[in-house]
Structure 1
């Protein structure tokens, strides 16, 4: 006997702890029964255009036939096998593809379970690199404020120390080195005074810093801020000058979201370690990766512990690897570039009226990212009612109403998304 929607929601309220929510929850979630293309079908019969790509991951939409076929085809061969001492074609192909796609010089791929874990692995790489070189005092990280890198403990330590929920853990987390957030504006020329601030901080802490870690071009969940790529070029020069590794967190920006395959391409630089996730599998299954240069890998191999001390149970899972390969295959012909450019134009056009709305502080668009920043905190309950009434699914936070839609979103559906964003800015 099929469980009714009401009974399912009652069970959800009793047992399911949702992200960033109390237990028991105060607001009932919407019950999704099916997803196809860019639409989510609810139990009450409504359909919503997904403006979030399921937290920025479902770039090809839902029930894509190529991804479905990759998943079912691999399931018929091998769903899982341990990666310690064994290997398989889907993971090997995925690693080679990532090396070919990412900025030149990143040659080695460590497959992870999630974005947060890829940050943990990247930091472990940097710490082991420094220890292997006999520089055991180099154990701290430097980052700029306004960032977000995940919810496990090491990533939390380099999230914004004041602006996010992770301030709860002050005194428990490792204390890292923070500089002011980079001046805003993707097209705003770099300020030399800020570059000098970066240089001074690196010089002051060089003897204790293992690495610098930043989100390139777009700071995501920390505030959806954009900055000029020139600051990445400055960081690349300064980290070399002060003998510190450079890590780019492209979990949110990777695979085309900013208009380039990777945000680092806007700056034309290669970090020592690159973290990927979210859109890697087209939103089907969880997987992430940490890529590094031969220099990093070789130093670790020469160390007292000549292995990277990490090994997830489901590392390189064949099912996930096969879907990731299929997702990257969909990006291989470059058609995504025209789609992202079209979406960028549609977001600029659709959000332009927000500049005249009271309470809107800023309107910004880059690639397939559209942001309305308000002068007040968004009422999430009101915002959800407003945007769903307009036929869209969005998830505002703090003072931001934003969208990161799938690349396959058509112009009419994009207009639904931007209309919902305008309505939320007016009423929430």
Structure 2
């Protein structure tokens, strides 16, 4: 690989063109390992940004791609349909909360959030109300496109430099009671007051259920979600849950909203939907929302991505969902969580560690100052693991198939990394 061309001409995510962060050349991936061209074999702790839940080079998913591409890789979804899309949507309707009957396919997680927000706006427009605001919580993250950025924390996220250019929505303090802690009723006060004050102009409340991802890796109490659903019902507000990072088993439930036993009005899913093979997402909603949207002036929902319903992605997504059931994802995630529960709390004794938290196959170590990314990344690679921290957070979301010994080794490498002063800015 021409790594110099890469460094000079390819702009990687969240890195500078002036002094780019090092990129490590991958030759191939298999099971729960990444293999570098320079010879290193790395235990993957990231599931390729939380998507590759079955690991890499899976024979059944490989076969799904190969078999589908022989018939068609893509056709437009306007005026046409196909079996891969029908089969996938059947599965999604079956496994998501019962009230979610309508599926709108999208081509990325950010786009599915855009779809959800537009759905909510068009819903109220059809009812003759020009509601233009959304309520959400701080430390949230919903993607990198403009509407998604507008409901991402404007002060505590990577998108804060766009403040002033984005539509301004209503943010309330995020819940502070952790998942495993005793519920504190005070957590609900800010949201309750905000809804009471602004509900007349609000199209929906949107948030990540139970786990806030890239905005801070915070894991909060299910009671917050339960009471929020009640508040939305009382004030006739739509509730949107962003399950893009949490869906398909990552938190120990198939979808994180199941921890609170609630049903949203709109749900976004993505990332792990194809097992990390293709980009695909979906926005699901109720018949009431969908029919109301389509009863309005336009007579339909005004959105249609070029690669909507891509047959290749839909077919591999269906096979990925098959694997979830076949491979008993729940017991695998429970095993990972048990290791986190046993080993992560001891890291609190280390100098730079300010907090640890975990849920399902998510383990988070928060340190007291930002990490030195080039230094800590080089340490991890040298020691045979792929972990990609950000800010003050070192976290792992490994593929579900990862053996217990590899989970323990990932934690051991984090333990060693946080004890080296050069790994902090």
What secondary structure, in the 3-state scheme, does the structure 2 residue paired with 1:212 have?
A: strand
Q: Does 1:102 align with 2:96?
A: yes
What secondary structure, in the 3-state scheme, does the structure 1 residue paired with 2:27 have?
A: strand
Q: Does 1:354 align with 2:385?
A: no
Greater displacement, 411-420 / 253-262: 411-420
- In the alignment, which residue of structure 2 is the partner of 1:392? 385
- In the alignment, which residue of structure 1 is the partner of 2:189? 196
What secondary structure, in the 3-state scheme, does the structure 2 residue paired with 1:326 have?
A: helix
Residues 1:189 and 1:353: Cα distance change in structure 2 (over 3 Å): closer
Q: Does 1:240 align with 2:237?
A: no
What secondary structure, in the 3-state scheme, does the structure 2 residue paired with 1:40 have?
A: strand
What secondary structure, in the 3-state scheme, does the structure 2 residue paired with 1:23 have?
A: coil
C-alpha distance in 2, partners of 1:347/1:425?
Answer: 17
Unpaired runs of 5+ in structure 2? none
- In the alignment, which residue of structure 1 is the partner of 2:44? 50
1:361–1:373 Cα contact (<8 Å) kept: yes
Q: Does 1:268 align with 2:264?
A: no
C-alpha distance in 2, partners of 1:192/1:160?
Answer: 23
Match of 1:12 among 6, 24, 46: 6
Unpaired runs of 5+ in structure 1? none
1:391–1:416 Cα contact (<8 Å) kept: no
1:139 Cα deviation from its structure 2 partner: 1.1
Residues 1:223 and 1:245: Cα distance change in structure 2 (over 3 Å): same
What secondary structure, in the 3-state scheme, does the structure 2 residue paired with 1:62 have?
A: coil
Match of 2:22 among 28, 39, 47: 28
What secondary structure, in the 3-state scheme, does the structure 2 residue paired with 1:41 have?
A: strand
Give RMSD over aligned pairs.
1.1
C-alpha distance in 2, partners of 1:66/1:134?
Answer: 49
Q: Does 1:132 align with 2:126?
A: yes
Q: Provide the TM-score with structure 2 as the length reference.
A: 0.97
Provide, for residues 277-324 of structure 1, a one-character-per-residue CA deviation record: whole Å limited to 9, x for no partner: 000000001000000001100101111111111001110011000100
1:17–1:25 Cα contact (<8 Å) kept: no
- In the alignment, which residue of structure 1 is the partner of 2:54? 60
C-alpha distance in 2, partners of 1:286/1:62?
Answer: 15
C-alpha distance in 1, partners of 2:108/2:136?
Answer: 21
Greater displacement, 52-61 / 303-312: 303-312
1:355–1:363 Cα contact (<8 Å) kept: yes
1:145–1:181 Cα contact (<8 Å) kept: yes
C-alpha distance in 1, partners of 2:384/2:345?
Answer: 20
Match of 2:405 among 396, 405, 412: 412
1:104 Cα deviation from its structure 2 partner: 1.5
Match of 1:175 among 163, 168, 172: 168
Q: Does 1:142 align with 2:142?
A: no
Match of 1:229 among 219, 222, 235: 222
2:175–2:188 Cα contact (<8 Å) kept: no
2:177–2:183 Cα contact (<8 Å) kept: no
What secondary structure, in the 3-state scheme, does the structure 2 residue paired with 1:397 have?
A: coil
C-alpha distance in 1, partners of 2:148/2:413?
Answer: 32
Residues 1:25 and 1:321: Cα distance change in structure 2 (over 3 Å): farther
- In the alignment, which residue of structure 1 is the partner of 2:68? 74
1:24 Cα deviation from its structure 2 partner: 4.2
Provide, for residues 161-201 of structure 1, a one-character-per-residue CA deviation record: whole Å limited to 9, x for no partner: 11112111111100000000111310223322232321110
C-alpha distance in 2, partners of 1:126/1:32?
Answer: 41
